[in-house]
Chain A
């Protein structure tokens, strides 16, 4: 199960934050095919946002084929995203690399900037 965190000052539309956080959970393997998303009631009770916002986010995820709504049952994950779950070799290598970067004296922001630069170089022109 995922728990959504809504940042009202981020400038990102609330429904998009839910879409992005769901995708992030799919990428990290925190959500897998067959898993149930929280109901609109559960999400709005925890976040105090409008129910239609949650429904809009779920419709968007459904449109992208990531989840499906089953009448009376809830919304379920249909497929996963990316190929790097939390326990994959890539994740382990990156963890290793982050530890080395820290040992080398790099600070959080230095590492983030370096990572963003390499990302930009390799995925230039790809759709985000």
Chain B
């Protein structure tokens, strides 16, 4: 067991010879055992990053190390659920699970797969093509979890699940992390839904890493402040600011005490992400595991 799940060094990926870079000089380290939220606007490079880590794409520049080895070398120990949940449409649910069992000898946990499929009320004899998007997602997640991966890469896993299935699946993912120390990376546009379940954040923007680190530390490094518009925000780093009449509201990284006349609050995950999406020019911030958490 390595203590680093994913490490990216100068990681870049370009599509086509002159194509734009979907990922550009990405640097980050994700420690093992974390549940990481992967967020960013459309086209930020989230899916490209997950495909690179899963070994389905090769980097154009730099490299990505997964579970201490190359993505190809870690293939047996990781599971990846792509956004379009590729499954064989003509197979039944039962045949799909059998395929999973045969493709993962020695690792497969049939009880996990059965449980997800049963909880979802799926007919084992139903063909995949007759299932709804959300039902297909649950079959894909059953395959991924039953493989007992050390690293689980999920691209928009909750997008087509109903609220009940969402809660159940998140609960199962968290239980898996609690019991086996599985590292989970999940991308989502619905940031509020990641709050509570994730303890690490990776925010991408235009192919670059904008925020990376333990969620609590990143939140603690920022403040939402409200004060009189004529006051200066120097020397703090301003991520985003808005003026309404005489009032100024800003998301800042404090570089010292904030004036007592200002109202300050620690942002929520959603406020942190929204602030960075609105302020695309704010400098990137990467934090490593704090001493306290490591102890």
Residues of A at the B interface (CB closer than 8 Å) are: 6, 8, 14, 39-41, 44-54
Q: Give A96 to B178 CA distance when docked, in angstroms.
A: 45
List chain A residues, Cβ under 8 A from B167. Answer: 48
Known: A46-B171, A48-B167, A50-B35. A41 touches B196 (CB 8 A): no
Beyond contacts A14-B196, A44-B174: 6 other A-B pairs, Cβ-Cβ < 8 A, are A8-B196, A45-B178, A48-B174, A49-B174, A50-B177, A50-B196
Grouping DSSP codes into helix (H, G, I), strand (E, B) and loop, the B interface class, with mixed when no group exceeds half, is: helix
Q: Give A8 to B193 CA distance when docked, in angstroms.
A: 10
Most buried by A among B35, B172, B178, B198: B178
> 13 interchain pairs (CB within 8 A)?
A8-B195, A41-B179, A44-B177, A45-B172, A46-B171, A47-B171, A49-B196, A50-B177, A50-B197, A51-B35, A52-B199, A53-B196, A54-B178
> Closest A-chain residue to B174, C-beta based?
A44
List chain B residues, Cβ under 8 A from A48. Answer: 167, 170-171, 174, 196-197
List chain B residues, Cβ under 8 A from A40. Answer: 178
A121 CB to closest chain B CB (Å) equals 31
Q: Give A54 to B35 CA distance when docked, in angstroms.
A: 14
Residues of B at the A interface (CB closer than 8 Å) are: 35, 167, 170-172, 174-175, 177-179, 195-199
Q: Give A41 to B178 CA distance when docked, in angstroms.
A: 5
Q: Give A78 to B278 CA distance when docked, in angstroms.
A: 50
6 closest residue pairs by CB, A with B:
A44-B174, A51-B178, A48-B170, A45-B175, A41-B178, A48-B171
Q: Give A112 to B175 CA distance when docked, in angstroms.
A: 38
List chain B residues, Cβ under 8 A from A39. Answer: 178
* Interface pair A6/B175, CB less than 8 Å apart: no
Q: Give A48 to B172 CA distance when docked, in angstroms.
A: 8
* Interface pair A50/B199, CB less than 8 Å apart: yes
> Closest A-chain residue to B178, C-beta based?
A51
> Closest B-chain residue to A49, C-beta based?
B196
List chain B residues, Cβ under 8 A from A14. Answer: 196
Q: Give A12 to B5 CA distance when docked, in angstroms.
A: 31
Q: Give A85 to B218 CA distance when docked, in angstroms.
A: 42
List chain A residues, Cβ under 8 A from B175. Answer: 41, 44-45
List chain A residues, Cβ under 8 A from B171. Answer: 44-48
List chain A residues, Cβ under 8 A from B199. Answer: 50, 52-53
* Interface pair B196/A51, CB less than 8 Å apart: no
Known: A8-B196, A14-B196. A51 touches B177 (CB 8 A): yes
Contact of A50 among B172, B174, B179 (CB under 8 A): B174
List chain B residues, Cβ under 8 A from A44. Answer: 171, 174-175, 177-178
List chain B residues, Cβ under 8 A from A6. Answer: 196
> Closest A-chain residue to B193, C-beta based?
A48
List chain B residues, Cβ under 8 A from A8. Answer: 195-196
Q: Give A53 to B178 CA distance when docked, in angstroms.
A: 11
> Closest B-chain residue to A54, C-beta based?
B178
Q: Give A53 to B170 CA distance when docked, in angstroms.
A: 15
List chain A residues, Cβ under 8 A from B197. Answer: 48-50
Q: Give A46 to B196 CA distance when docked, in angstroms.
A: 13
List chain A residues, Cβ under 8 A from B198. Answer: 50
List chain B residues, Cβ under 8 A from A51. Answer: 35, 174, 177-178
Q: Give A47 to B172 CA distance when docked, in angstroms.
A: 10
Q: Give A40 to B198 CA distance when docked, in angstroms.
A: 15
